[in-house]
Amino acid sequence: EFKYIIIIINRLTKIKYYIPTVNLIVKKLIEYFIKKIYSIYNLPDSIVSNYNTQFIL
């Protein structure tokens, strides 16, 4: 059973990507981002986050 949903929104096209996950392992999120998002749109100009501690380097 999933515990979290990560939401990625393309601000230009308004396309939404929902990533159900059981944990918030950043490595897995990056792998998904590269495989599903980066491969379509390339590197984004900006990334907006809620600044939760697990997403801040």
The string of pLDDT tens digits covering residues 1-54 is 898 888 888 888 898 989 888 887 778 778 887 888 888 878 777 777 776 666
What is the per-residue pLDDT for 54? 63
Q: Domain count of the chain?
A: 1
Whole-model pTM over 0.85: no
Nearest to 55 by CA among 18, 29, 37, 31: 29
For 39, the domain range is 4-55
Q: How far apart are the first and last CA of the chain?
A: 28
Quote the DSSP letter at residue 12.
T
